[in-house]
Amino acid sequence: MLILAAVLVTAGCTTRSVAPEASPHETDSPSEIVRTSPPPPDPEEVGANELGVVPVLMYHRIVPEPESVYDRTPEDFRAELQRLADENYVPVTTAELATGRLDLPAGTHPVVLTFDDGDPSTIRVEGDEVAPNTAIGVLLDVARENPGFRPTASVYVNEEPFGGGEAGRRALRWLVDNGFEVGNHTFGHTDLGSSTPDEAEEAIARGDAMIRDAVPGYEPASLALPFGIRPTPGSLALRGEGYDYRAVLLVGANPAPSPFAAEFDPTAVPRIRSQGPDGPEAEFGSTAWLDRLAAEDGLLYTSDGDPTRISYPRGDDTLHPDFADAAAPY
Ligand SMILES: [Zn+2]
């Protein structure tokens, strides 16, 4: 967690609105340093709560004819993204969430969009363009129509991503080049719970190496556990020979704690399955959770617009002690 604190402080330094270099008309006096953006608003006015929860939504296939509860149609997927934009969510990646790099406008809420299994319906790159009928194509379109809705996501792949071959590797590079996160889902979609520690480490390391080979210079930063099943010990999913992650994603079935909360566990970050209001276990799906997060005051992470401080209503005692220096209760 000390690393997280360092990242937070670094992020703060880079976003402080000071003139980067003195012009001939400026003096060296600190009093001459000029803010280039307005100060963030009063945290209470925007209902800031940076100890609130963050939905990490889980998608698999985006297909016209769903065959299981893990599939969503392109129309339902687009409607869910539009709902997120309308409700002032801003997409961030798993790595950004886990390291507390949440530099978002005041009053907005982080959401992580995750895609598992490297299904061909996730992305297809044609020339330099993403095919519009893929999940990432729809996300790009919604982002174009909703300024401030950042087009990013975390995409978890196995061997042969997006149908495999050079087309799949090109899609991985497109994702990284365009600010998306590519994460590991193990090479062979391995059940790490029934693997020996050596087998689990090998399955994770091989998936990691596949991504590094496809995207030279890129270092995967997170793992989505196949079937949501953890290895023994659980820490092996986070760190092993050949990989070192910031976060490990589970499958169900509730929002993630704030990365600044004592409860945040990088080895077990929960997700919410994207789902309409009906069907099996719909009460744990995204429609039900987004309804609840919208209805219950104070539950959701709401940004104060200032990455250097952690604002939350006074009386909340769930802050991780490593972040005490940035605490800004109000
Ligand atoms: Zn999977």
DSSP states along 154-191? EEEE-SSGGGSHHHHHHHHHHHHHTT-EEEE--TT---
> What is the pLDDT at residue 9?
35
Are the beta carbons of 268 and 235 closer than 8 angstroms? no
Cα 99 to the center of its chain, rounded Å:
10
CA distance 174 to 122: 13
Cα 232 to the center of its chain, rounded Å:
25
CA distance 49 to 313: 7
CA of 185 to the centre of ligand 1 (A): 7
CA of 15 to the centre of ligand 1 (A): 37
CA of 251 to the centre of ligand 1 (A): 9
CA of 35 to the centre of ligand 1 (A): 46
CA of 227 to the centre of ligand 1 (A): 6
Residue-level pLDDT, tens digit, the chain, 330 residues: 334 433 333 333 333 233 333 333 444 444 455 656 677 789 999 999 999 999 999 999 999 999 999 999 999 999 999 999 999 999 999 999 999 999 999 999 999 999 999 999 999 999 989 999 999 999 999 999 999 999 999 999 999 999 999 999 999 999 999 999 999 999 999 999 999 999 999 999 999 999 999 999 999 999 999 999 999 999 999 999 999 999 999 998 999 999 999 999 999 999 999 999 998 899 999 999 999 999 999 999 999 999 999 999 999 999 999 999 999 999
> What is the pLDDT at residue 33?
54
Question: Coil, strand, or helix at residue 304?
Answer: coil
Domain boundaries defined on the chain:
2-9+41-329
Question: Running DSSP on this structure, what letter comes out for residue 231?
Answer: P
CA of 277 to the centre of ligand 1 (A): 23
> What is the pLDDT at residue 32?
52
CA distance 226 to 206: 14
Report residue 307 as tokens: 């990455």
> What is the pLDDT at residue 40?
78
Q: Which amino acid is it at 207? A: G
CA distance 132 to 212: 27
CA distance 229 to 237: 10
> What is the pLDDT at residue 36?
65
Fold of 2-9+41-329: TIM Barrel (3.20.20)
CA of 229 to the centre of ligand 1 (A): 10
CA of 144 to the centre of ligand 1 (A): 29
Question: Coil, strand, or helix at residue 138?
Answer: helix
Are the beta carbons of 260 and 323 closer than 8 angstroms? yes
CA of 44 to the centre of ligand 1 (A): 41
Residue 258: which of 275, 273, 270, 248 has the closest Cα? 270
CA diameter of the chain: 68
CA of 116 to the centre of ligand 1 (A): 5
CA distance 192 to 208: 15
Report residue 141 as tokens: 């379109």
* Strand 125-126 versus strand 239-240 pairing type: unpaired
Count of CB atoms within 10 A of residue 163's CB? Answer: 14
Helix (H) or strand (E) holding 269: strand 269-273
> What is the pLDDT at residue 34?
60
Residue 296: which of 92, 101, 55 has the closest Cα? 55
DSSP 22-38: --TT--S-GGG---SSP
CA of 68 to the centre of ligand 1 (A): 13
> What is the pLDDT at residue 259?
98
CA distance 303 to 77: 25
Helix (H) or strand (E) holding 208: helix 197-214
